[in-house]
Structure formats: structure tokens, C-alpha cells
Amino acid sequence: MSYLDMKLKEFIDVVDSDAPAPGGGSVSALASSLGIALSRMMAALAINKKKYREYDEMIKDEFIEKYDSLLKIREKIDLLIDEDTASFNELMKSFRLPKESVEEKTIRLEEIQKATLRATEVPFEIAEVSLKAMETLPFFYEYGNMNAITDLGVGAMLLEVGIRGAILNVKINLGGLDDSNLVEKFRTNYIEIEGKAMVLKESILKVVEKKIG
């Protein structure tokens, strides 16, 4: 059963249990999804309003393009809520493989590396696509519904939580990867993503604070 098909309370109860998954990765993806949803709501509240109709056609075209792109990103992140848990479960499964013979030990180690890589790739993707969503938000504090500007601010904060939470999961899984070049590549990229997210969030919140006085 997909977590997306659960009632909200059911999902919270599963997180609030002794089950190891869904954990921080899936919850980070959910935070990003909610951040995008709030940001799209702020944008949706502007569409077809008098001020919106007065924008030139280029702005309106860009508005709809960015609004639609946020939905595509959210739909991808929603899938990653489940994928993060699935990758964790596969990693745990690999650790339970038999290790009696030399051949079994070799196969087990190979499967652990493969599963560890996947368990690293999924939260990295959550962070990566969440940043793409966050980079879209400044457009909407210019042309979205200013009565819902605080929702955009909350959306930005949730996206940063999603990004930083996902990166924590990347970091812990990197410790299990043997390929030092791959580890360094992940590290270089997540440092850049995290830095951009922090700067973007602060700049968005400054605008929000200014708008609400």
C-alpha cells in the first residue's frame, strides 16, 4: 500500500511507531510535497483575479508554466515518499542475506553496496528536485496572491526542511559506500544544494516579512 493512499492520521501513526520506516527520508519528501502544495495554492489564488488579468501575456504564460512545473515536481516527490522506504527495506534485506560461504559473503557484500547506493540516490533526488521547486518560488512573490504571501513563506521553509532532512539521509548512507569517488561526488553536490536552499529560503522569508510589514 502506498503511503499516499493512507489517511493522514494513519501515516503519522506509522511514523510514530517502532517500525524503522517510513523514517526521515520519507518524511522529508512529504515536507517538500507540502511546501510545494502551499506555494501552488498561493499561486492558484492569483489566477483569473483582476490583477492577474492585467499582466501581459508573457508573464501569464510564464506563470502557468511555473505553476504546472511545480505540480510535476510534487508528483515526482510524492513517488519518492514510497521509494525512500522501499530503498531502506531493500538495504535491510541485503544485510540479512546468508554469509556462510565465501561465495555467499561476496554476493552479500555486492548486494549491500547496490542497496546502499540506491538508499543514497533516493534522498539525494528528493533534495535535488526540492531545490528545483524552491528556485521557482521567487517568481510567485512577484506575481502570486499577496494575501497568501505567508503560505509561500511556509512553503519555502518546508522545502528547506525537505532538502536538509533528505541530505541527512544521504550523509548517513554515504558511510556505507566503498566507492570513494562516488562518495565525494555526492558530498560536493549536496553541499551545493544545501547552501543554495539556505540562501533561497532566507531571501524568500525577507520578502515575506517585508510584505506583511
Q: What is the pLDDT of residues 162-200, one digit of tens each?
A: 999 999 999 999 999 999 999 999 999 999 999 999 999
Average pLDDT over all residues of the chain: 95
pLDDT above 90 as % of the chain: 92
Measure CA 109 to chain center: 29
CA dist 190 and 204 (Å) reads 21
CA dist 158 and 38 (Å) reads 9
Angle of CA points 75, 77, 82, to nearest 5° = 105
Structure confidence at residue 21 (pLDDT): 83
For domain 22-212, which CATH number applies: 1.10.357.10, 3.30.450.40, 1.20.120.680, 3.30.420.10?
A: 1.20.120.680
Tell me the per-residue pLDDT of 91-108, one tens digit each, with 9 for 90 and over: 999 999 999 999 999 999
Cα distances from 178 to residues 109, 124, 163, in angstroms, run 10, 18, 24
Is the Cβ–Cβ distance between 155 and 38 less than 8 Å? yes
Residue ranges of the chain whose pLDDT lies below 50 = none
Structure confidence at residue 197 (pLDDT): 98
